[in-house]
Structure 1
Amino acid sequence: NCEEFVNMVLKLSLHQTLKRSHLREQTSKDPTLSKLRTVIENDGCWDDPDLTNFKNIRDELSITSDGIVLRGLRIVVPSSLQRKVLELAHVGHQGISKTKELLRCKVWFPNLGKCVENLIKQCIPCQANSTSVNRDPLQPTITPRAAWEFISMDFLGPFPNGKYVMVMIDEYSKYPIAEVIGALKVEVVKEAAFKVFSAFGLPSVIKTDGGPP
C-alpha cells in the first residue's frame, strides 16, 4: 500500500539518509504543501496561484495518514528537502537522463527535470568528465602502457563563485581528477598539482594545450 511504499523509498532508495519523521516535519512546515493538504482534505478551491503546478494533477494527489503528500505512489518533496533529494540521487554522478529516471519513479516536485539539469551543470566532477569526453582529444605520439603514465591537464572556469577547476585526465584509464583552485596563478596551480601527485605519484608525461597558466 501507499504507507509501505513511502517507507520503502525512504529506506532503500534514499539510503536511510532521509527519515520519514523529517519528511513529515518539513512537509508540515512547507507553506505550499500546507495549502495543498488543506485543499485536498477539504475538497477546496484550486484557484490559489501557489497551487498552479498542482492543479492539473489534482486527481493524482493524496495524503498519507501522517501527512505526507503523494502523487500516485511518488512522494511529493517539500521545497526544503528538494536539493538534498537531488544530491542523493546524483551521488554516483550519473548523467541527466539517468538521474531524472531514478528520481521520477520515486519522488516528484514541480520543475524536477529542470532542477536536475541545473544541479548537474553545477557539478564539478561531471563537468570535468564531460570536458574530457567532448573536447577534441590530445593526440599522443606514444600510447601509455599503464595508468598514470601519461596525463592531460586543463582548466575550467571561471565559475560563478570566481573559482576555477584544474582537471587532470589519465590517458590510459580516462579517469578524471578535479581540483578547485582560487586563481590561475603558477603558485596556486603548483600547489594543487603537488596535492594530486602526492596522492597518485608523478606521471612520466604531462600534456597541456599550451594555454594559461
Structure 2
Amino acid sequence: MRQDILSKIHGGHQGIVKCRALARSSVWWPGLSTDIKVMIEECATCVKERKPPPEPLQPTPVPDYPWQKVGVDLMDWRGNDYLVVVDYFSRYIEMALLRSTTSETVIQHLKSIMSRHGIPEVMMTVNGPQFDADKFSRFAEEYGFIHETSSPRYPQANGEAERAVQTLKQLLLKAEDPYVAMLNYRATPLQCGFSPAERLMERRLRTKVPAVPNLLIPDWPKFHDMRSADVQQKEAQKKNHDKRHRAQPLPTLKPGERVWLKTPTEKEAVILRPVAPRSYELQTKTGIQKRNRRHLNRRLSDAPTPKQSPDKASTTIPPDAGRPGHRGEDGGFPDPSSEQRETDSPSEGLPNERPVTTRSGRVVKRPNILDL
C-alpha cells in the first residue's frame, strides 16, 4: 500500500520538495519523508534527465611561450567553411577559407600556417571527422606535435577556439572590409595591456590609425609580468564564476560504474577509464566513446526501497490531514528520527486506561515509574 501511495505522489516526477508538499496534506506514516527522498533519488526517469549542478571553473593553464599550444576549429559563415586557428598564449587568430572540409584540405592549410608561425607542441581540435582520420594522425606524427581532442558535445573543452569563432563572426558581421577588421583585432591591446601581435611577434602592427614611428620599433615586453597578469586574470575569473554559479564538483566516477548518458541516441553506458580531467572513456551499445562528466548521471537501482516494511507498520492518515496547512508538532514535515513509532496497544502497566494520543494521532508512551 505504501509503495502504491509513493508511486502516486511521484506520478508527475516532481522533485523532493514538491512531492513532500503534495504528501503533507494527505498522508503520513513514520519515515514518509525519507521514503520520498529515497524513491526520487532512485527513480530511473529522474536520474536520466537530471541536470547536474555547475562545476567549478577549470581555467586553461597559461602556456610557457607563444604558439606552444593552439586551438583549431571549423567555422561556417554564410555558406562558406573556414579553418580557425588561435594561439592559446597570445590569442592571435589565423583564418583560412576552405574549398572542402576533408582532412587533406585542412592539413594543407595547417601546414601553411605552421610555415609562418612554427609547429606547436600541442594542437587542440574538435572531434570532427577531419581530425579523427588516420591521415591527420599521420600528419601529427610527421610534424611532431601532440593532437588532443575535446569531449563530444562539450565545446568548453576547447574554449579558446570557440571564443575565437565568436570573435570572428562578430567582426565579419559588422566590418565592411574583413581584412581591416582582422588587422584591428590583432593590433588592439588585450586586458593585460598588450595586443595579440605584441604577445606573438614582439612588435606592434601598423594600422590605419596614426601612430608614432617609435612605437613600431620591436620591443619585447616583460614576459614574466605579462604571463603573471594572465594567471591572475584566470584566477579571478574562476573565483567569480564559482561564486556566481555556486559551483560544486561532481563525484568522480570509477571504472565499471553504470551511467545514464544525456544524449538523444545513447542512454546506457559503463565507465571504462578516465582519459582527462572530467572526461571519461565509456562502453556503449554502439562502441567506445568519450564523454564529459557533465553528460553522465550515475545509474542507481530502478525501483525505490522504502525504509519500513508495510507488514511492520500501517499507513496512517491524520485526522486533520485534509485541513490546509497541516504540519507536525514542530510545524514542519514529520521526521522519523524525532518521532516515536505507533503501537497497537497502550503502554504496559496501564491496560485499563484509554491511550493518550497526540494531535496527529500518535500514541504517547508513558514512562514506567516505580510504585514506592
The TM-score normalised by the length of structure 2 is 0.19
Larger radius of gyration: 2
Higher normalized contact order (CA 8 Å, seq sep 6+, divided by chain length):
2
- Which structure shows the higher helix fraction? 1
The TM-score normalised by the length of structure 1 is 0.32
